[in-house]
Structure 1
Amino acid sequence: MYMVYWTEADDGPRSREFASKDMSAAMQFMEALRKRQREGDGVCFITMCSENPDSVGHPGVADPSPDYNWKKRRR
């Protein structure tokens, strides 16, 4: 899934969701927002985030599991 976030001067923060297969549509939407920004509309902070539904692990940072035993090799 993709989320596009932006801020409009009059309305505050906004967002719009796009399906995982619609990255192209999300980028076209962002470009339309940037065009409005270049034309002087009160649009700013345009960004996109994605979340992969097929990700192997959990997102974020965590301590390693107790059975994780990594050692640096030295010669």
Structure 2
Amino acid sequence: MFMVYWTVADGNADHAQARCFPSDEMGAALKFMETLRGRQRDGDDIGFITMCSENPHSVGHPGVADPSPDYNWKKRRP
């Protein structure tokens, strides 16, 4: 899954926006981002245009943490 995030300012406040795209529509997400960037270039008060993804088939947990107590990795070479 892909999420596109951007911020729209209305003069008084900034409003965070988001739009979700399925995992097989990365091209559509990139096109949408370019549309937002075009609006930004044309003077619309849009900023912080970014995309992130999350792999639903990831092996590990996202983020950084200490390994579980049963994790026993050893370096093979000295």
Q: Does TM-score exceed 0.5, indicating one fold? A: yes
| 15, 20, 30: which one aligns with 1:17 | 20
Q: Kindly state the Cα deviation for residue 66 of structure 1 after the two structures are TM-superposed.
A: 1.8
Alignment partner of 2:38 out of 31, 35, 38: 35
Within-5 A mapping of 1:1-75:
1-10=1-10, 12-71=15-74
Q: What CA RMSD, in Å, does the superposition of the two structures yield over aligned residues?
A: 1.6
Name structure 2 gaps, 5 residues minimum: none
Provide structure 1 residue ranges, at least 5 long, that are not aligned to the other structure.
none
User: 1:71 Cα shift?
Assistant: 4.9
**Percent of aligned positions that are identical:** 72
Q: How many residues align?
A: 75
- What TM-score results when the alignment is normalised by the length of structure 2? 0.84
Q: Secondary structure at the match of 1:14?
A: strand
CA distance in 1 between counterparts of 2:77 and 2:56 reads: 39
1:72 to partner: Cα distance: 5.4
